[in-house]
Structures are given as C-alpha cells and as structure tokens.
Amino acid sequence: MDTLLSFILATTIVSFMPGPSMALIMMHAVDRGFATSVQTSLGAVLADAILLVLALSGVGAILYSSALAFTALKWVGVVYLIWLGIAQLRSPVNTSADQPASKPGNAFLQGLGVTLFNPKIIGFLIMYFPQFLDAKRPALPQLLVLGPLFLLVVFVVFLICAMLAHAMRRLLLTERGRLWFRNTTGGALIGCGLLSMRL
C-alpha cells in the first residue's frame, strides 16, 4: 500500500509538469470546449498506453537505444508540433463563448500524435517504473497493477487541467484576450517543437 501511494503521488506530480500534450489539451479546452479537450486527453492517454507497452515489453529499450529510430521519431514529433503551432497562429479569432474559435483537425488524433511521437516518454517510462517494483516478486503482476494505475492518474490530471483551462474561457471573450491566447498557445507549441530539436 505504501508503494502504491508513493507511485500515485509521484505520478500525479510528474503528470502536472508542463509538456506538449498538456499544452494541447489546455489549448483545446479554452479554444474548442471541454468536450474536445476530453477527446484530446483520451488520445494522449492511448498514446501513453502504447508507449508503456513498448517500454515494458523491451521493445522500447531497443527503440530508445537506437539512434536512428530515436532521431526519426523525434523529428516527426518536432514537425508535427510546429505544424500544430502554425495552424493555431493562423486560426481565426472568435469572441463567442458558445462556439469554438477554431477547428484545426481531429482532437483525439492530435492528442495521440503529439504524445506518440515523443520518444523521450519511452526513456522516462523505462527508468520510472523499476523504482516502484519489488525485485523479490514477479514483475508482471506488479506491472499489471501499476500500468493501468499510471494511465488513470494521468487521465485524471489531464481532466483537472482541462477543467481549469475551460474555466478561463470567460476571461478570454474579448478579441484582445482571444488573440493573446491564440498567439501564446501557438507559440508554445512551436516552442515545444524547437526545444525538442535540442534534446
């Protein structure tokens, strides 16, 4: 029980750290509504689940240690983030609280793509989970508990951030507010992509 509580606390703290997936979810919460941000969150969590399976099955270790595969995935993620940022910057400004300001594609697929094409997550998962495993017990039963728990915590954190971001919509009803938000989020996505180039 102590291990589970520590795992939940650590995962919660890690999940609240800003990143491309979180930026996209909060952008959709403000710009397109809470329901859309839930779709984005589901896509991101599905990608996390796929990467988790790869990481814990050993395929992730091979991928992470392969310079060519890691670089290829990294550059796909960089291009995708920059493309999303540019699409956000080019989106029209809408001051209506009832209508989304922009519809730059399928939210679920965007959440899936932004998270899936981030090979650094595999490296994180490879190093993260062993810290909470009891070496004296079989690993698989422990992973079958910790894996779904990890995804659940991440999803709950995403929903909390989406709700907080959605609550800010009323503060951004002016054209200046929406313009500021559009430029900030678009710039943040592009910034995440450029930062990934250096990692």
Give tens-digit pLDDT for 184-193.
777 777 776 6
User: What is the pLDDT at residue 167?
Assistant: 84
pLDDT for residue 81 is more than 50? yes
Average pLDDT, the chain: 78
Higher local confidence (pLDDT), 93 or 155: 155
pLDDT for residue 98 is more than 60? no
Higher local confidence (pLDDT), 9 or 125: 9
pLDDT tens digit sequence for 35-48: 999 999 999 999 99
| Full 3-state SS string of the chain | CHHHHHHHHHHHHHHCCCCHHHHHHHHHHHHCCHHHHHHHHHHHHHHHHHHHHHHHHCHHHHHHHCHHHHHHHHHHHHHHHHHHHHHHHHCCCCCCCCCCCCCCCCHHHHHHHHHHCCCHHHHHHHHHHHHHCCCCCCHHHHHHHHHHHHHHHHHHHHHHHHHHHHHHHHHHCCHHHHHHHHHHHHHHHHHHHHHHHHC
